[in-house]
Amino acid sequence: MSPLAMVLALLGAAVVMFAINRPRMDVVAVIMMVALPMTGVITVPEALVGLSDPNIVLIAALFVIGEALVRTGVAQRLGDWLTERAGASEARLIFLLMVVVAGVGSVMSSTGVVAIFIPIVLRIARKARIPAGRLMMPLSVAALISGMMTLVATAPNLVVHSELIRQGHEGFGFFAFTPFGVPILVLAILYMLLARRFLAPGPAPELPARAALTGWVADYDLAGREHRLRLRPGSTLAGKRLDALDLRASAGINIIAIERGSRFRRKLIHPRAETVLQAGDTLLIDRRARGGEAGFDLDAFVQTNELIALPVSGQWFADTAQEIGMAQIIVPPTSRLIGKTVTEARFRSAYDLSVIGMKHGTRPVPEGVIDEPLRAGDTLLTVGPWRAIRNLMDERRDLVLLDLPAESDEAVPARHRAPLAIGVLALVVVLMVWGIVPNVQAALFGCLLLGLFRCIDMAGAYRSIHWQSLILIVGMLPFSLALQRTGGVEIAAQALLDTLGDAQPRLVLAVIFAATGMLGLFISNTATAVLMAPVALAVASALDASPYPFAMTVALAASAAFMTPVSSPVNTLVVGPGNYRFIDFLRIGVPFAVICLFTSVILVPLVLPF
């Protein structure tokens, strides 16, 4: 068997295993890394060259940047914006998602855009109760189309641009691709709105099995017992420290949190003895302490101190879940707190948390929670910063963390560092757009800055990388070298030239688009552009036609890698989160690739005449 036949046999076997999804795709990639050197076409170091590929490091770095955007709340805010604008309409959500992704991807790597948007889309899907598979494919399609928007949006565009210059022609302008990318994006949105029914069919996913904050609020009857009081201008409480007011002793009021407006947003302040109240502050209070004067009248307290009573509901606790958390903890028999009240144990000072609910066994304590002696087995409902709640995970002797609400998965541990994360992202994008340093160096520099500014820690950075996707990409990269070394690619290109003959120019464009797309099924779109750009320009010269429509067709076709999960890293990244099979890309991607072919054949000669 010839070397080319062996390489093609291995490629066919990989495609079959991808199609039946047995074994896992990353395992198939490792099998190919082991098998290809056995053909004698490439060496073992060449089979492993993907591990040192800058693009692999770039993808990993962009995963870290995306995680930093999640940890600082940037992703959550963008997701909330998309969800708010979309309302209850899944169609509007898909439209907005694809427009935003294509816009962002027009100035940075499409792979990087997907790496950043995957956690955003997963959060939107959970919040809107939409299967993630209904949104991940629109995400990947929009990211690929973003490569059709500007010159710097994707590497194949730059490859074709460089080939034009090398052969003595003027290169493409920055927005030369936009007249084709925008119409294709419009068609993609319409197509995905129709095709979404074939993605993750069935009902929306059930809500998380763990309790939500609103459930705990109902269990402990917080909505009926908690109050929010806003300080009017001139309030007698303004300008005073909490320890001087001593509201717990004088009025039986336990301050849980303080809402304070700032120039850009509202923030929640955890109360401390030295905290000074300001006019405009809103106090979240608990009136279940037994202290205070007999017959205390809250309404009279509000009027006397120039306060405004505001509503508080279970939804309020859910809406503020990014900044204030809840946890159920249990008092073990070994606890030194047994027999003490919450006040005597100085619970807030020791743990930075407030106790707002208590159960003796399964029986809730209706009032006087902070003055009730603790017993072994008591369950306490605490509220405070997520940081303080997570610190309880290391506590074993006095308190044991029993349960966290579902909202803890989406808590933002570094919310106040969001401007820094946005600034670092902007810097990385500028470095990439202007080519000041290589893309991978710009991304790694961004990771270092994010660590320096504590937008992410090392443990979070390693957890954020989707290693399965990286191994899949690394394992398939050697096929490009093997096909080139055995002459397979050159044979295909020459066959294309022989087949074209004297065909009409539009038909020639269609064949070039189809050939580029088919070649892109097996090798990277950048390698496809490297191989097909000179072929397309040679065909243009043979037809005595302008080189620009032929070069543009290669660039557009290289970005139209919708047909398989391995035809582009963009597709590979969404396989796991979207729970897709190989066949899903075929039945969704192939028809749309055909739509792109006809659209390109119609539009390209109109904008770039022969």
Give the residue ranges of DSSP H helices in 333-377: 347-351
Q: Which of 319, 352, 368 is the last residue of a domain?
A: 319
Residue 382 β-bridge partners? 327, 355
Whether 256 and 183 share a structural domain: no
Residues 61, 141 within the same domain: yes
Q: Are residues 329 and 380 in the same domain?
A: yes
Q: Is residue 6 part of a domain?
A: no
3 inside domain = no
Q: What is the DSSP annotation of 148-201? A: TTSTTSSHHHHHHHHHHHHTT-----TTTTHHHHHHHHHHHHHHHHHHGGGSS-
In a domain, 418, yes or no: no
Q: Which residue has the higher pLDDT, 368 or 206?
A: 368
pLDDT at position 510: 92
* Of 255, 285, 319, the domain-final residue: 319
Same domain, 448 and 376: no
Residue 533 in domain? yes
Q: Is residue 7 part of a domain?
A: no
Looking at the fold, whether 182 and 275 belong to one and the same domain comes out as: no
Tell me, yes or no, whether 94 and 154 share the same domain.
yes
Question: Is 308 found in the same domain as 366?
Answer: no
Q: Residue 420 domain-assigned?
A: no
- DSSP 8-state assignment for residue 372: S
Task: Compute the average pLDDT of residues 350-376.
Answer: 78
Domain of 278 in residue numbering reads as: 213-319
Q: Which range is least confidently modeled, 108-117, 319-328, 459-468, 551-560?
A: 319-328
Q: How many domains does the chain have?
A: 4
275: DSSP letter: P
Looking at the structure, tell me whether residues 38 and 147 fall in a common domain: yes
Q: Is residue 16 part of a domain?
A: no
With a pLDDT cut of 90, the percent of the chain lying above it is 12
Greatest mean pLDDT among 35-49, 116-130, 457-471 lies in: 35-49
Residue 273 domain-assigned?
Answer: yes
242-278 exposure pattern, b = at least 16 Cβ within 10 A, e = fewer? beebebbeebbbbbbbbbeeeeeeeebebbeeebebe
Instruction: Compute how many other C-beta atoms are within 10 angstroms of the C-beta atom of residue 514.
Output: 15
Percent residues over pLDDT 70 in the chain: 81
CB 532 within 8 A of CB 512: yes
**Could you read off the pLDDT of 14-39 as tens digits, one per residue?**
877 866 767 877 788 889 899 999 98
d(CA 97, CA 189): 10
Per-residue pLDDT, 226 = 63
> Residue 556 pLDDT > 90, yes or no?
yes
Choice between 117 and 250, residue whose per-residue pLDDT is larger: 117
Of the candidates 385, 405, 428, the residue with the CA atom closest to the CA atom of residue 214? 405
Single out the residue in 382, 410, 438 at which a domain terminates.
Answer: 410
* Cis peptide bond N-terminal to 23, omega within 30: yes
pLDDT for the residue 460: 76
Lowest-pLDDT range of 31-35, 412-416, 488-492, 591-595: 412-416
Higher pLDDT, 351 or 267: 351
Q: What is the CATH number of the domain that holds 355?
A: 3.30.70.1450
Q: What is the mean pLDDT of the chain?
A: 78
- What value does the mean pLDDT take over residues 498-517? 82
96 and 86 part of one domain: yes
- Structure confidence at residue 549 (pLDDT): 93
Average pLDDT over residues 348-374: 78
At 162-213, the pLDDT tens digits run 788 877 888 887 788 999 999 999 999 999 998 877 776 544 444 444 445 5
Same-domain status, 347 and 459: no
State whether 168 and 249 are in the same domain.
no
Residues 54 and 149 in one domain: yes
Note the pTM of the prediction, 2 decimals.
Answer: 0.59
The confidence band for 305, taking pLDDT boundaries of 50, 70 and 90, is confident
List of residues 6+ apart from 516 with CB closer than 8 A? 528, 529, 532, 553, 554, 557, 558
